[in-house]
Amino acid sequence: MRARLLAAALTLAAGCAFASGYDDFSAGVTANARGEADRAIASFTSALASGDLASGYLPSARLGRARAYLAKGDCTRALADLDEAVKLRPNSVSGRVMRAAAYSCLKNADAATADFNAALNLRPTARVYENYGRFQWNQGLFAEAAANYAQTSQMSAGSDPHLPYKVLWYAMSAERAGTLDQAKLNDLVSNIDQSGWPRPILDYYRNRLTESRVYEKAADSDATIANQQKCEADFYVGEWHLARKEPDAGMKLIHAAFGECPHNFMEYYAADRELKRQP
């Protein structure tokens, strides 16, 4: 064995023609991380067809290709891969949660619900409750969503920087269901150790801040952040109006949120969902 190194022999060229199933698998993971769905699908397909990919990676290759298919909106192919992934690794929570997303995309709410419940049976974690709550909110099951957001908020207390948003989604869902419990909301808010954004919106749902003050607080930052905070204020205040049966005021703000929120914000997707929900 020759000692030490030879640079030429060890050069790892990104994007080169790969020789093994593992290299294709690795390239697929990289492509998904870069948001390159077509490349990810091609790489995972080669890895799965290679015949030499270690069996331990087969479920992940299916999950990876399914994620790429979901990114392209090809939910049928995603579901086929996810069925296989869950078959190969029945205890995979990520497989169940991702398959629930595929079922949801295919308008099969019952099957999605079954997968979320299976995921909770496997690992009742804050993130699964949060995902389940988002799915239920999308379905218009606001009381159920509120229960899951309350659960994820309680489980995340004291550790999660996204806790204010989880509590906010509890408040928003419960308000929409007509079941908002102010004492419970105050209890959840007491676990939040930050006073900055989006606290003003939470205080609005707690009837402690007026709408105009929320927008003043939203504008109190540099231009980029202020625009992002305004988009969030538009969405959550719009939802509050919808809950109060004020559709004109509510939908005007939801339209504004959809137009101004960055496309990687959850409020953008939620505004899109709300617009599609309206008759």
Partner 1 sequence: MVRPKLLAIALLAAAAIPAVGAAAADAPACHLGRYASLPMTIDEAGLVTVPIKIGGEEENLLVDTGGVFSMLTSATAARLNLKPVSLDFGAAMYGWGGRRMNHYVEAEQIEIAGATIKRRQFMVMPDDFLPLDDDGILAPDILSVFEVDFDFAKSQMGLFSKDHCEGKVVYWTHDDYAAIPFDLDSNRHMKITITLDGKEVHAILDTGASDSVMSLETARSMFGFKPSAIAETGRYPFKSLTIQGVTVNNPVIDLVPDDKSKMLGNYGEPDMILGMGILRQLHLFISFKEHTVYVTPASAH
Q: Which residues bind partner 1 (CB under 8 A)?
A: 1-7, 9-15, 19-20, 22-23, 25-26, 29-30, 32-34, 54-57, 59-61, 63-64, 67, 91-94, 97, 119, 123-128, 155-156, 159-162
CA distance 215 to 234: 9
Which residue's CB is nearer to partner 1, number 9 or number 183? 9
Which residue's CB is nearer to partner 1, number 4 or number 107? 4
Residue with tokens 């109060």: 244
The half-sphere exposure of 177 on its side-chain side, counting CA atoms within 13 A, is 20
Q: Which tokens go with 74?
A: 């090809």
Are 206 and 219 in contact by the 8 Å Cβ rule? The answer is no
Which residue's CB is nearer to partner 1, number 25 or number 235? 25
Task: Say which amino acid occupies 156.
Answer: S
CA distance 11 to 24: 17
Task: Tell me the closest approach of the beta carbon of residue 8 to partner 1, in angstroms.
Answer: 9
Task: Tell me the closest approach of the beta carbon of residue 149 to partner 1, in angstroms.
Answer: 14
Task: Tell me the closest approach of the beta carbon of residue 248 to partner 1, in angstroms.
Answer: 37
Task: Say which amino acid occupies 188.
Answer: L
Task: Tell me the closest approach of the beta carbon of residue 39 to partner 1, in angstroms.
Answer: 13
Burial class (CB in 10 A: 0-12, 13-18, 19+), 219: middle
Q: How far apart are the first and last CA of the chain?
A: 72
Task: Tell me the closest approach of the beta carbon of residue 47 to partner 1, in angstroms.
Answer: 11
Which residue's CB is nearer to partner 1, number 12 or number 183? 12
Which residue's CB is nearer to partner 1, number 157 or number 209? 157
